[in-house]
Structure 1
Amino acid sequence: MNVVFSAGSVEVFGVTLVGISTTTGVKLLVTAVFVVAVLALRGVALAVTRRTLGGEVGDSRRFWARQGVHVVVAGVLVLGLVSIWVTPSTDITTGVGLISAGLAFALQQVITSFAAYFVILRGDTFGIGDRITLGGVRGDVVRLGFLKTTIMEMGQPPSVSDSDPAIWVNSRQYTGRLVTVTNGVIFTDPVYNYTREFPYLWEEMMLPITYTDDRARVEQILLDAARAHAVVDNREAENAFASMRARYALSETSLAPAVYWRITDNWLELSLRFLVPHRGVRAIKDRMSRDILTGLDAAGIGIASATYDIVGIPTITITDPDDRELPRTTRPR
């Protein structure tokens, strides 16, 4: 191959390659060595971080250490590449302007997600380990990157289990699916955080009874179950809610369990409202349900269901197909 290197260009078989020179080749080589060296140092830094801090992957210290390493590496790469390719004698104003405009248009989603990453970190939107709903995905944040957030998906209670996307787990427990959501959705969709400010949830259990049952006794059974298993007279919950009221315009709300009555055309509906931690709700409601059923059985009270009363049957006439007999009429007994 006839390749000629001159001071300013490279010729192959007498053809001058546009944009390629010995200087460009050197810069490409230095760039490759620089990128490999920085990525190798990043791997060493992450390994030292894991060995030094220990703990689990979801440990907040390891999370922030990893984020710090990633930010420093990204900054070093940008500064290094600019230093290699931009020199005082290079007039690249026009080129940089055109390239920047093209990249901004082509990578607008990437740029938005990258900007959202810093908004998430600085805006206390959510962090690693938080239980959130983001972009229609419900679950725990297990990883937060520059462009995307990884969520361990969880189910929903039966009342909303048919919402989109479809979930087959009828409780707030893991489905086993890891879902990736771009960070940019925080600018367009609401973010529901179950744990950031107030790591508790208000839950409700509805119990229908007939109008002839002992209503006061049923209410007491419900309250006893809530006081035995839900969050009642908890200083941490009270302090968390007081902190919420200090930061936001929230009205005073009772944290104690309560029962509300609602009259329907079939039964009396008693709704028990109570406070629970943001995790382990299904186990708490399971224990409460067992206690409630035991209390109802002991009191001889059943759960109401829809019934129908037949008040009359119309006259029925039976006729022989061959008309060999007179019509016979039966009446209800």
Structure 2
Amino acid sequence: MKSIELIKKWMQEHPTSIALIKYLILVIFILGIVQLLRKFLQKNLPDTNTRYKSQKGIEVLGYFFILIFSFTYFTGNIKDFALAVGLLTAGITITLQELILSIAGSIYIFFVKVYKPGDRIEINGIKGDVIDIDSVYTTMMEIGEWVTSDNYSGRIVKLSNAFVFRGPVYNYSKDFPFIWDEFNLPIRYGSDIDLAKKIIIQIASDKLSEYVNDSISKWKTVVDKYYIENAQVEPTLAITMTDNWIEFNLRYIVDYKKRRFTKHLLSELIRKEIEKTNGKVSLASSTIEIIKIPKLNIERQNQKT
């Protein structure tokens, strides 16, 4: 009985501490409900996309409810909400600037649709596929670094959502899921240039026809949505005369996830067709011609030890 009386006395003497403890218990209870709902959705929704969006929606609603509850709990009246927001913002802007900016970035990403899970982006010098977006971080599967082309490095990168306000965000898949790629072919002088052009354009047109047809309708959507001119989506070939060879530059459109494979396929097919010409078309390579080797007089002196 004496211990109960001491507890009651302490509660009467420390009303602020009691209020804070009650607040923390209620917040923990709300977070627990959110986690239970997320696990329920995870188990009962078979579709990955629906499950992911539902879980994120529950998480956002939970945070929003905690925010409203916090203000009303400490102010005692919903009418004081605006005043509480102002006071709270003034007090924590400096200390929690990065966190606030990250949360604002997540809201901006969600409503403006800068990118979404599944998109391939480059932000703050990091390129990868977006695999998750929460209220603070964007999680990416990294591409590049020590591996070439568009291969995964295997590292998972967490990037603050605040970076959407600090620099450009390159999106490889939003609105127009195709990119332009190119590579150069050195053709030796004396080759049948018209035959070389025919081989390259024919292979590119045959193998890229699916990408060309799909990209035409997609590009029309981009032109209707943005202030941009129409673009050439069919394969194009440009020829440049150099000191050593005739350089063929093949430019073409390709699915952003198949750039490396498509370049390999085109290179292999073009090489095989050039070999079938029996020397009419030849690939060039860098050569060095030595005009004269100066005479060197080397004297050998034997020293007695």
Report the CA distance between 1:31 and its aligned residue.
2.0
Q: Determine the structure 1 residue equivalent to 2:28.
A: 36
The answer as to 2:217 corresponding to 1:239 is yes
1:141 pairs with one of 130, 155, 180: 130
**Counterpart code for 1:298:** K
Report the CA distance between 1:47 and its aligned residue.
2.0
Q: Determine the structure 1 residue equivalent to 2:182.
A: 204
Report the CA distance between 1:234 and its aligned residue.
4.2
Alpha carbons of structure 1 residues 312 and 319: separation in structure 2 relative to 1, 3 Å: closer
1:110-145 Cα shifts (integer Å, max 9, x gaps): 111111111111112111110000111101000101
Q: Determine the structure 2 residue equivalent to 1:15.
A: none
In 1, distance between residues paired with 2:296 and 2:129?
67
In 2, distance between residues paired with 1:243 and 1:320?
79
Q: Determine the structure 1 residue equivalent to 2:69.
A: 80
Q: Determine the structure 2 residue equivalent to 1:265.
A: 243
Q: Determine the structure 1 residue equivalent to 2:149.
A: 171
2:291 pairs with one of 300, 311, 323: 311
The answer as to 2:159 corresponding to 1:181 is yes
Report the CA distance between 1:6 and its aligned residue.
4.5
1:252-300 Cα shifts (integer Å, max 9, x gaps): 2221111110111111110111111111222222221211111111113
Report the CA distance between 1:228 and its aligned residue.
3.0
Alpha carbons of structure 1 residues 294 and 97: separation in structure 2 relative to 1, 3 Å: closer
In 1, distance between residues paired with 2:100 and 2:150?
33
In 2, distance between residues paired with 1:94 and 1:200?
49
Alpha carbons of structure 1 residues 40 and 210: separation in structure 2 relative to 1, 3 Å: same
In 2, distance between residues paired with 1:7 and 1:94?
32
In 1, distance between residues paired with 2:180 and 2:20?
60
CA contact (8 A) 1:233 1:256 kept: no
TM-score, with normalisation over the residues of structure 2? 0.86
CA-atom RMSD, angstroms?
2.8
Decide which moves more: 255-264 or 232-241. 232-241
CA contact (8 A) 1:112 1:184 kept: yes
Alpha carbons of structure 1 residues 252 and 184: separation in structure 2 relative to 1, 3 Å: same
TM-score, with normalisation over the residues of structure 1? 0.79
Paired residue secondary structure (1:213): coil
In 1, distance between residues paired with 2:173 and 2:33?
35
Alignment size in residue pairs: 294
Identity across the alignment (%): 27
1:276 pairs with one of 239, 250, 254: 254
Decide which moves more: 171-180 or 231-240. 231-240
